Structure 1
Amino acid sequence: MAGQRVQRVAAPLRTQVLEALRQDILAAEFEAGERLVEARLCERYEVSRTVVREVLRQLESEGLVTTVPNRGPVVTELTSRDAEALYEVREALEGLAGALFAERATAERREQMGKVVRRYARSHRKAGLAERLEMKDEFYDALISGAANPIIDSTLRGIHARVQMLRGLSMRAAGRGPESAKELTAIYEAAAVRRDAAAAREACEVHVRNAAATALRELEARSLEHSAG
């Protein structure tokens, strides 16, 4: 496993390591269920155990890491049923968020969504996984903030944290990038341009259903591959 030296730049060291390990997990540098051994992480990122422990606690709160009795921290392993349950709730809440965005979003939030959708459509083919995930995070920040509902905000952000690993699986799948760009554009046009709440709800639900189908297919393929191995 190749090391990833963390650069000593302006951002706090903990933040740099957190981002590096998060992206390594999402990029499948660490397998689901794999133990995250502190000593190896210290060597990989060239940081202290204190930093590694802080980062692991943060990733556990995000759902990417699970502490298992007698094993310690491991990369969270989601079952197909776990994934289905998450996507069911996500579909319902994102549909509602899209409808509320159409009704409530300020001009600033609509402009924010438009900028990230256009950037994603323009650059997703060349962008790496980390950059695409960052753009999707920006899109959802605009969508959730524009819905102006604090319960949706806290609940949906929590679901997104838990679904990050599945999102990484989905976005790495062949052909998913162009499909996702079309779906985000449809959400933007319905919610921010036409301000059509019903169409925005449907566009959000379609996007989540398609992402779910792709992620579940990739999850099943990975499970079969591991079984064969």
Structure 2
Amino acid sequence: MARASHGSVLDDLGVRIASGEVAAGSVLTLAQLEEHYEVSRTVIREAVRVLEAKQMLVSRRRVGVTVQQPELWSNLDAQLIRWRLDGPQADQQIVALTELRLAIEPTAARLMARHADPLERAQLLQLAEQLQRLGDAGQGDSDEYLDADIEFHNLILTASRNPLFSSIKETVAEMLTGRHSHGQTPANPFEDALANHVAAARMIADGDEDAAEAATRRYVEAVLSEVAVD
């Protein structure tokens, strides 16, 4: 292949491993990678170091670098998620990430209803109204809708005041961006999902924890029904 940079080597090798093209258990040598990518040993070492940090590779002396089993990877890493979304199993990755949201986001909404300050509650209502306006106008697949959607969900996770919930903001953002870039976000959003975004924001603003949790669960379940893979 054409001479590559560190970034392009990392992304190409990352996608190949994440997609299973380079299967778990495969053993690679620095010399093989250097020849394949036509780059210096330093560039290869840098890419391997990043993949080791994500637990995708492990180096062993006199053996080389071995591709780890996927369950050992840093599976919430935003870059790894992006690589998976660039591969043939993007649909399954979106489903898995939506299932993760279903496990976390309703509780985060309950906690935001309990802990958020007035400014955060007002901001969430504004974002919900923006999503409603764009969705009603058939712009659910627009960049503006995506930006507002990411901000909406990030705010719920942050204002939950649970730092573990807040730590998956990039994960959720990558999932939403992946749906958008793969054409899976409809111009006219599923009404049940959109209506429950608005309902969740109102219940959070009112401090109604039970209703906020229930409305959030309904909109994530609606999204899951949209992206479900047979």
Query: What root-mean-square deviation, in Å, do the aligned CA atoms of Structure 1 and Structure 2 show?
Result: 3.1
| Structure-1 separation of matches of 2:80 and 2:148 | 18
Q: How does 1:66-145 map to 2 (within 5 A)?
A: 66=84, 75-78=86-89, 81-124=92-135, 125-127=137-139, 128-145=141-158
2:212 corresponds to which residue? Answer: 200
- 8 Å contact from structure 1 (residues 84, 212) kept in 2: yes
2:36 corresponds to which residue? Answer: none
- Residue-by-residue CA offset, 1:47-74 (whole Å, 9 max, x unaligned): xxxxxxxxxx9x97162235xxxxxxx9
2:165 corresponds to which residue? Answer: 152
Q: Kindly state the Cα deviation for residue 189 of structure 1 after the two structures are TM-superposed.
A: 1.4
SS in 1 for 2:185: helix
Query: Which has a greater percent of helix?
Result: 1
2:177 corresponds to which residue? Answer: 164
Q: Kindly state the Cα deviation for residue 214 of structure 1 after the two structures are TM-superposed.
A: 0.6
Identity over the aligned pairs, expressed in percent?
18
Q: Kindly state the Cα deviation for residue 172 of structure 1 after the two structures are TM-superposed.
A: 1.7
| Structure-2 separation of matches of 1:83 and 1:95 | 18
Query: Partner amino acid for 1:132?
Result: Y
Higher relative contact order, structure no. (Cα contacts within 8 Å, ≥ 6 residues apart) = 1
Q: Kindly state the Cα deviation for residue 163 of structure 1 after the two structures are TM-superposed.
A: 5.1
- Residue-by-residue CA offset, 1:86-113 (whole Å, 9 max, x unaligned): 2222101001101100100111110110
Q: Kindly state the Cα deviation for residue 151 of structure 1 after the two structures are TM-superposed.
A: 0.5
Unpaired runs of at least 5, structure 1: 1-32, 34-56, 67-73, 221-229
Pair 1:77–1:60, CA change in 2 (3 A): farther
Pair 1:183–1:177, CA change in 2 (3 A): same
SS in 2 for 1:89: helix
| Structure-2 separation of matches of 1:83 and 1:191 | 26
- Structure showing greater Rg: 2
1:69 corresponds to which residue? Answer: none
State the TM-score, normalized to the length of structure 1. Answer: 0.57
Q: Kindly state the Cα deviation for residue 150 of structure 1 after the two structures are TM-superposed.
A: 0.6
Pair 1:60–1:98, CA change in 2 (3 A): closer
- 8 Å contact from structure 1 (residues 167, 211) kept in 2: no
Pair 1:197–1:60, CA change in 2 (3 A): closer
Query: Partner amino acid for 1:94?
Result: E
Pair 1:140–1:202, CA change in 2 (3 A): same
State the TM-score, normalized to the length of structure 2. Answer: 0.57
- Residue-by-residue CA offset, 1:200-225 (whole Å, 9 max, x unaligned): 11111111111011112xx56xxxxx
- Residue-by-residue CA offset, 1:137-189 (whole Å, 9 max, x unaligned): 1211221121111101103532442453236654227x525443311111011
Query: Partner amino acid for 1:76?
Result: G
